[in-house]
Amino acid sequence: MFSGFMVNAWLIATIVAFVAGVVGFFVVLRGSAFQAHAIPNGAFAGAAGASLIGVNPLIGLGVFSLGAALSIGRLSRRGRSDVVTALALIMMLALGAAFISQSTEYEPQIFSLLFGEILGVSTSQLLPVIVLGLVCVLAVSVLYRRLLLTSIAPEIAASRGLHPARIETIFLIIIACSTTMTVPVVGAFLIFALMIGPPAAARCFSNRPEVALALSVVIALVTVWASLASSYTTNWPVGFFVGAISAGWFALGKVYATWSRSRAEQRR
Amino acid sequence: MRWLFEPGFFSSAPVHTAIVIGAVSAIVSAIVGVVTVVRGQSFAGHALTDVATTGGSGASLWGISPLLGFIGAGVLGAGAMDLAGVQRARGRDLATGIVLGAATGLSALFLYLDTTRSASTGITQQILFGSIFTVDPSTIPVAVIFSVATVALIIWIYRPLLLSSLSPELASARGIRVRSLGLLFMLALAISVGLSSIAIGSVLSTALLIGPAATSLRLTKNLRNAFVLACVLGVVATWLGILFAYDSYYWDPSSQGLPVSFFIVAIIFLSYLASGISGVRRSVARRADTGNARVAPPSGVREVA
Amino acid sequence: MNTLPVLEVNGVSVTISGRKILDDVSFVVQQGEFTGLIGSNGVGKTTLLRAILGLQRLDAGEIRVNGEPLTARGRSLGYVPQRVLLDPDVPMRARDFVALGLDAHRYGFARRTKEQRALVEQMLHDVDAERFANARVGSLSGGEQQRVLIAHALISQPTLLLLDEPLANLDPRSVQEIVSLLHRVAKEHHVGVLLSAHEMNALLPVMDCIVYLTNGRAASGTTDEVVRSEVLSALYGHHVDVLKLHGRVLVVAEPGQDDSDIPQHETFTVN
C-alpha cells in the first residue's frame, strides 16, 4: 500500500486533507455549504471538456471552477435567487455529460471525476497540485483574522474598513482553487462532504477558533487516510468512504456536543 | 422538414417510448415544480434528486426496475426529511448536506458494484444523466399511472397547500392539516423526481422540476396559467431534446450523438434566460393574465423565481 | 485644552428612493459625552449611523470624526451593531472575540503578547464579562453579548463609540446595566458615546445630550433644552405635550393627531 505509485497517492491525499480542513473550516463558518457543493459540480464540465480536447483536466477544472465561483459571487450579490444558480449548475453538469459522451472511454472517466479515484493525480500533475494546495492554505492563513471577523460580524468588519465583499470574492476564489486540486482524488460530488463534515465535527469539540481549525485538519487527515486505505483494500470508490466517514464524524460531533451540554447543565 | 427529422425518427420504437415517458415526466415535473417554486422548496427538490440517485443505483444492483428504485428512495428520503423537519436554520442545511454526501457516497458504491458485477457499461451515465432511449417500454403503464395519480393529487390539494405555505396559522385555523399536506406534497415531489430521473437522469432532473416552473412563474402571476405554461414548456423542451438527440446521431457519423438530457437541459436553461428579457415577459404576461386571481409569493420565502 | 469634537455632523441630508430621510441634520459629540439618538423605528436613525460609518452617501453636508473627514476613520471609531451572532455552534469564545477587536486587520495567525492578553483581561473586567469570558459568543444572552461587543469595540481605544439600538431586545434589568456600563465607559475611557434608541426614558439619568430625530429633522442639545413642548412641536409639525413625572418623560400628541411617529415609550415601570 505504501510503495511505488501509491506514494503519490498518499502525498496528494495528505495535501487534499489539509486544504479541505482549512478551507472547510471557513465554509462551515460562513454558511457557504451551497457554494462548496455547487462549485465542484460546475468544475466537472471543465474537466470533461478539457480531457475531450486533449488538454490537462486540471486546467479545465481550474477554469470552470473559477468561472463558477465568480459567477456565483456576482449572482448572489445581486440578490438573484438559488433558482438561477441551480439551473446554471445543472447546465454545467449536462455539458459535462455531453462532453463525456463524445469520448470513447466515458464510463470510467465520469465515475472517477464524480466519485473520486485514488490515482486521480498523475506524477506529472503532482507539482501543480502541491503548489495549488500550498497557495490555498497560505491564502487562508494570511487572511485568517479578516476571514474570522467578516464571517462572524460583517457589519463590524465593514466599519473597520475590512471590505467584507472583497473578502467574500477572494474566499470564493480560494474555494475554486481548492476544488481544482481535490476533485481528482475525492470526486466532484463528494469533496464538499470532506469540506463540511470534519469542520462541523471539529467545532463541536472545541470552542476556540485556532483549536477548531487544527482539529478540522486532523479529522480531515484521518478521514482521507482511512478512505484511501479502505479504497485500496476493497477497490471500492474513495468517495464512498469519504461520504460515510464524514457523516460519521458529524454524528460524533453532535453526540459529543449534546453530552457536554448536559454535563455542563448538571454542574450548575 | 426532412432536414429536421432524420430518417426513421417517427418509426423508431425507442423514440415512441421516449416521447411518452418524456411527456409524462415533463408534465408531472412541471405541475409539481410550480408548487415547489412557489413554496420555496427548490432545495428540498434538489436534495431529493441526490437521494433518488442512491435509489436508482441500488435498484440497478438488485435488478429492480429503475423507476421503482428512484421513486422508492425518493419517498424514503422525503419521509426522512419530513421527520427531520423542513426548517431552514443554518444547522439544518449542514445536516442535510452531510446526509446527501453520505447518500451520494452510497451511490458511488452501488454504481461501482454495478459495473463490476454486471459488466455492463454506461450504468453511471444512465442513472445520473438518463438514457431515455433505452427505457423498457413496459415501464410506460406504471409511469402513466404514477403521473396521473400525482397530477390528480396536486390538483386536489394545491389550494390548501399554498395557503398553508403562505400562512400556516391561518391554514390550521381553517381546519387544514398543514403537516399532512406537507408530507403528501413531499411524496408527490419524490414521485416526480423519480419519473424525471428516468427521462433525464437523477442528477439533472432538478432542471425539469424547477426550470419550466420558474420560467412560467416569471411570465405570469396567474397560477393556473403558470401550471399550463410550465407543462407546455416542459413537454416542448423534452420532445425537442429527443428530436435533436436523435438527429445528432446523424450529424457526425463517427460519434454517438449527444445525450438527450443535454439538449433538454439546454433548452430549459435557454428558455429561462430568455424569459428574463423584459419585452418577452411583458407581452406574454399581458396575454396570459386575464384578470383572474393572482398569486403573491409567500412572504419570508427565500427562493422565488 | 483643545476640545476637538469627537464627532461633527453638519447639515447632513440623505435622500433614498426619492424620499428625504435626513434633512439638514446637525449636531456635535464631545469626548466623554453620552449622546442618545432618539427616534421611532424607520425614522432614519440607522441611515444616520450608516452615514457616520461611511456606508451611506450624503447628498449634502459633511461628517467629521476627530476633525478628519470620513475616509480616514479606521480605528478611531468603534461600532457595536445590535446583535451579532445567534449560532452557538460557532467556535469562538467571548475572550477570543474581544481579542479580535485588537488586531482583526492584521495578517496571519494571532501571536498575542503578554501585554495584549492583559489588555483583553482588563477589557473583560471593565465590561463585567469575566464570568462568561470562556463561553461561546453565540450562546450568550442578549445582555451578555452586548457587553462582549462593547469590549470588542473598546479595546482598540477609539475616541467614538457608535451603538445601533443596543437596548432594543433586552429585558429591563439588562437595559439598566448596559446603560450604566456605557456611562462609565464614556467617563472613564474618555470616549464619545452615541447610541440610537426608540425610547429615551432609560437613558435620561445618564444622557449628556440628546439628538431627537423625526421626519428627517433633528433637534439636538441637552435633554432640558430639547425635550420641551415648543421644540418638539416644531419638530413634529403639530402640537405635542411633554409630561414629566417622577423623572420620566412622556410625549403625547393631541387626540386626532397621528402619533405613529412618536417614539413608543414603555409604560411606567416602578423600580
Among residues 115-154 of chain B, which lie with CB inside 8 Å of chain A?
Answer: 115-116, 121-125, 128-129
Let me know the angle formed at the C-alpha of B38 by B219 and B69, rounded to the nearest 5 degrees.
Answer: 110
* Percent of chain B with pLDDT strictly greater than 90: 22
**pLDDT, tens digit, 9 for 90 and up, residues A113-133:** 888 887 777 777 788 889 999
Q: What is the pLDDT of residue C72?
A: 55
DSSP assignment, residue C265?
A: P
Q: Give the residue on B whose Cα is nearest the Cα of A114.
A: B108
Task: Give helix A33-52 / helix A5-29 axis angle, nearest 10°.
Answer: 140
* Structure confidence at residue A107 as a pLDDT band (50, 70, 90): low
Judged by CB atoms closer than 8 Å, whether chains meet at A152 and C134 is answered as no
Task: State the pLDDT at residue C223.
Answer: 83
DSSP string of B7-68?
Answer: TTTTT-HHHHHHHHHHHHHHHHHHHHHHHHHHHT-HHHHHHHHHHHHHHHHHHHHHT--HHH
Q: Does B88 touch chain A (CB under 8 A)?
A: no
Question: Does B124 contact A197 at a Cβ distance shorter than 8 Å?
Answer: no
CB contact under 8 Å between C55 and A206, yes or no, is: no
Does residue B233 or residue C21 have the better pLDDT? B233
pLDDT digits (tens, 9 = 90+) for C155-205: 988 889 999 998 888 888 888 889 999 999 899 888 999 999 988 888 888
Of C31, C12, C52, give the one whose Cα is nearest residue C162: C52
- Give the domains, in start order, of chain C with CATH numbers: 7-253 (3.40.50.300)
d(Cα C216, Cα A24) in Å, to the nearest integer?
A: 46
pLDDT tens string B178-188? 778 888 888 89
Nearest residue in chain B measured CA to CA from A36: B97
Q: Which residue has the higher pLDDT, B144 or A80?
A: B144
Strand partners, B222: B294
Question: What's the CA gap between B84 and B87, in Å, rounded?
Answer: 9
Q: What is the pLDDT of residues A28-49, one digit of tens each?
A: 999 888 788 888 888 888 888 8
Mean pLDDT, residues A254-268: 83
pLDDT given at position B46 = 82
The tens digit of pLDDT for each residue in C125-146 reads 989 899 999 999 988 988 899 8
Is the CB of C87 inside 8 Å of chain B's CB atoms? yes
pLDDT of C76 strictly over 60: yes
**Partner-chain residue, chosen from A90, A236, A246, that has the shortest CB–CB distance to B112:** A236
Distant-in-sequence, close-in-space partners of B49: CB < 8 Å, separation ≥ 6: B193, B197, B202, B203, B205, B206, B209
Q: Which residue of A has its CA nearest to B211?
A: A87
Task: Name the architecture of domain A5-190.
Answer: Orthogonal Bundle (1.10)
Least confident of A61-65, A129-133, B121-125, B131-135: B121-125
- B91 CB neighbours in chain C (<8 A) are 87, 89
Q: Using an 8 Å CB-CB cutoff, list chain C residues near B90.
A: 87
CB A18 within 8 A of CB A133: yes
Q: Please tell me the distance in Å from C56's CA to the nearest CA on chain A.
A: 12
What's the ipTM? 0.87
* Predicted local distance difference test score (pLDDT) of residue B87: 44
Centre a 10 Å sphere on the Cβ of residue B91 and count the other Cβ atoms it contains: 15
> Do residues C200 and C263 make contact, with C-beta atoms less than 8 angstroms apart?
yes
**At residue B168, does pLDDT exceed 50?**
yes
Q: Please answer yes or no on whether B214 and A83 come within 8 Å at the CB atom.
A: yes
CB distance A243–B269 less than 8 Å?
no
Asked whether the beta carbons of residue A82 and residue B303 sit closer than 8 angstroms, the reply is: yes
Interface with chain C: mutation pick from B90, B92, B93, highest number of C CBs within 10 Å: B90
Dist. CA C25–CA B260, nearest whole Å: 64
CA distance C63 to C48: 10
pLDDT score of A50 more than 50: yes
Contact criterion met (CB < 8 Å) for C105 and A145: yes
| Contact across the interface for B97 and A193, Cβ inside 8 Å | yes
Nearest CA among B300, C151, B112, B29 for reference residue A116: B112
A173 vs A112: which has the higher pLDDT: A173
Report whether pLDDT(A245) > 80.
yes
B70 touches chain A (CB under 8 A): no
CB C197 within 8 A of CB C164: no
Chain A nearest CA to B303, separation (Å): 6
Residue A182 has pLDDT above 90, yes or no: no
Residue B297 has pLDDT above 70, yes or no: no
What is the set of domains in chain B, with CATH numbers? 14-288 (1.10.3470.10)
SS3 C242: strand
* Residue given cell 398553508 in the structure block: B164
Distance from CA of C84 to the nearest CA of A (A): 6
The whole-angstrom separation of Cα C32 and Cα C30 is 6
For residue C193, list its beta bridge partners. Answer: C34, C161
The answer to whether B99 contacts chain A (CB < 8 Å) is yes
Asked if B209 reaches chain A (Cβ–Cβ under 8 Å), the answer is: no
Averaged confidence pLDDT in chain C: 84
Which residues on C lie below 8 Å from B88 (Cβ)? none
CA distances (Å), origin C7, targets A101, C10, C34:
66, 10, 12
Chain C residues in contact with A152 by the CB 8 A cut-off are 84-85, 90, 92, 97, 137
Could you state, in order of their start, the residue ranges of all structural domains in chain A?
Answer: 5-190
Strands (E) located in C55-153: 60-65, 68-69, 77-80
Q: What is the Cα–Cα distance from C92 to C84, expressed in whole angstroms?
A: 13
The answer to whether residue C118 neighbours chain A at the CB level (below 8 Å) is no
**Nearest-neighbour CA in chain C from A17: distance (Å):** 20
Q: With cut-offs at 50, 70 and 90, classify the pLDDT of residue C93.
A: very high
Nearest CA in chain A to C51: A159
Q: What is the pTM of this model?
A: 0.85
pLDDT recorded at residue B292: 40
Cβ–Cβ under 8 Å, residues C36 and C204: no
Mean pLDDT of the region B71-80: 84
Query: Which residues in chain C touch residue A215, judged by CB atoms under 8 angstroms apart?
Result: none
Q: Given this model, what pLDDT does residue A199 score?
A: 96
Distance CA C57, CA C44 (A): 14
Q: What percent of chain A has pLDDT over 70?
A: 95
